[in-house]
Structure 1
Amino acid sequence: MMDWLQVTRGEAPLLVSFPHAGTEIPPEIEDRLVSPWLARQDADWWVERLYDFAPDLGATTVRTAICRTVIDVNRDPSGASLYPGQATTGLCPTTTFDGEPLYRAGQAPDAAEIARRRTAYFEPYHAALRAELKRLLERHRTVVLYEAHSIRSHVPRLFEGELPNFNIGTNSGRSCDIDLTAAVEDACDASGFSRVTDGRFKGGWTTRHYGRPDDGVHAIQMELACRGYMDEPDGPPTPETWPTPYDPARAEFMRGALHHVLNACLDFAGS
């Protein structure tokens, strides 16, 4: 039984994936880390709570509780970079987004361990995604795969300045139909939050791998700047300042906007 893999089935033509909301780290890995807090720093904090209304819309959700430091299920399993020439993190990250080392000297995973982690966590996660997409495609001609993410608004190693609130990724238009992109853009723009499409984040491996519009699967990634729903520290994060607690009142407006975004996905799939 894989209690770290959480699948909630719905019947609507929408699958919401949460690849980075997990914070669990096996003890044998945690013992080798510089800092357990540092290892969890880059989680997509509280995203699963932001979207906890998705099952009420009939959406299927797939979530891993395993921390991305153990293995990032949204990276190319071959180890190839999603953003050649730009700073990023790998399949089994050895640094944080800020470039800080995650493992103590000599403790980083070798090729054999990375392969074991792929077998233990990466492959079951994607088997679940494939199974749910197949099930939904048996019921609907069109299915939307929505990748739910978030990141701090300021990460100088990854991007300059302040990230827009909504960062839509469509692999430069290849992972979904232009009408879905336009519908999600309209929902974001109506919220008053800032928005960019295919900017710094164009979609991770999941969006790029499964987005096959000609086969009925339209994949789109949403990277939220955390400040849209939670307080962020003024300077670099520390164990005392990050993450800030989830505050339903603080997150209410963003949740309302995300309701419109997921409804736009459902309207597209049903059209």
Structure 2
Amino acid sequence: MSDWLHVHEGHAPLIVAMPHVGTEIPPSIEPRLIDPWRARKDADWWIEKLYAFAAGLGATIVRTTISRTVIDLNRDPSGASLYPGQATTTLCPTDTFDGEPLYQPGQEPDAAEIAHRRATWFDPYHASLRVQIERLRHTHGSVVLYDAHSIRSRVPRLFEGELPHFNIGTNNGATCAQALSDAVAAACANTPFSSVVNGRFRGGWTTRHYGEPARGVHAIQMELACRGYMDEPSAPFTAANWPTPFDAARAAPMQAALSNVLQACIAFAQEEKP
């Protein structure tokens, strides 16, 4: 569809959204940043490679190459916090997950620039998601929107201790049928990896905005701890050690587990009647 938005249309009742895999920063923005590496540090590293098998299952894949520093496609465009009282980043972040400033003083985007970024990237991305949701609803009746993410296992500003490998989010059961949440949780439990449902990450704006179980749209977020599929260096993370390269052999056990998760999503949608 464009050079930054990529859509692979599949036939199964499953959409895998990847809003944070991008690392591209336009030349009009990058010189204003303190450190280009810092601006890319919080990407969902290698998620597009980790889920490369999804197309073979018939999934539709919607992903972007734009960095979340430019615009976070999984934030409420109104500016409302998804986790009131807890640290988080905004639609156009000005700091990293660790609280480090992204922009040189006085170079942060103002309201007009934020509106322009929203019109340029946020709105087309979500328009594309909506098109795919309605296409598959028309065919299948029910569809699962699976929002795929990852994060470093330890980010003290965002959460205490070490994150479980699988972090399943349904906004406390509001965004999908309990049967889907149970099926995904069961698939995760049948692995060597740890998991939690509606822990620190309960689903971002995408999950909460599109999840309408009564209409047959079941949205669920999966936040993976990076250590499940790639090597995480001991702190501090630097440009010299992060991200570590994608290693197919290292990622294989996690990929096998995720294949079962996505197949459980498809099976649920095929059986569900809206």
Alpha-carbon distance between aligned partners in 1 of 2:112 and 2:31, rounded to the nearest angstrom: 19
Say which SS state the counterpart of residue 103 (structure 2) adopts.
coil
Alpha-carbon distance between aligned partners in 2 of 1:225 and 1:203, rounded to the nearest angstrom: 15
Say which SS state the counterpart of residue 27 (structure 1) adopts.
coil
Residue number in structure 1 paired with 2:91: 91
Q: Give structure 1 regions of 4+ aligned residues with deviation exceeding 3 angstroms.
A: none
TM-score (norm 2): 0.98
Q: Work out whether 1:107 is the aligned partner of 2:115.
A: no
TM-score (norm 1): 0.99
Residue number in structure 1 paired with 2:18: 18
Counting only pairs closer than 5 Å after superposition, residues 40-119 of structure 1 correspond to structure 2 as: 40-119=40-119
Residue number in structure 1 paired with 2:165: 165
Residue number in structure 1 paired with 2:8: 8
Alpha-carbon distance between aligned partners in 1 of 2:4 and 2:53, rounded to the nearest angstrom: 21
Say which SS state the counterpart of residue 191 (structure 1) adopts.
coil
Alpha-carbon distance between aligned partners in 1 of 2:149 and 2:157, rounded to the nearest angstrom: 18
Q: Which runs of 5+ in 2 are unaligned?
A: none
Alpha-carbon distance between aligned partners in 1 of 2:236 and 2:196, rounded to the nearest angstrom: 24
Alpha-carbon distance between aligned partners in 2 of 1:146 and 1:154, rounded to the nearest angstrom: 23
Say which SS state the counterpart of residue 122 (structure 1) adopts.
helix
| CA shift for structure 1 position 2 | 2.2
Residue number in structure 2 paired with 1:176: 176
Alpha-carbon distance between aligned partners in 2 of 1:132 and 1:36, rounded to the nearest angstrom: 33
Q: Which runs of 5+ in 1 are unaligned?
A: none
How many residues are treated as equivalent by the alignment? 271
- Computed over aligned residues only, the root mean square deviation of the Cα atoms, in angstroms, reads 0.6
| CA shift for structure 1 position 243 | 0.3
Residue number in structure 2 paired with 1:36: 36
Say which SS state the counterpart of residue 7 (structure 2) adopts.
strand
Alpha-carbon distance between aligned partners in 2 of 1:148 and 1:19, rounded to the nearest angstrom: 8
Residue number in structure 1 paired with 2:261: 261
| CA shift for structure 1 position 236 | 2.2
Residue number in structure 2 paired with 1:120: 120
Alpha-carbon distance between aligned partners in 1 of 2:100 and 2:56, rounded to the nearest angstrom: 40
Residue number in structure 2 paired with 1:190: 190
Alpha-carbon distance between aligned partners in 2 of 1:237 and 1:80, rounded to the nearest angstrom: 30
Residue number in structure 2 paired with 1:200: 200
Which whole-Å deviations, capped at 9, do the CAs of 1:121-155 have from their partners, x for residues lacking one?
00000000000001001101110000000000000
Alpha-carbon distance between aligned partners in 1 of 2:235 and 2:98, rounded to the nearest angstrom: 13
Residue number in structure 2 paired with 1:241: 241
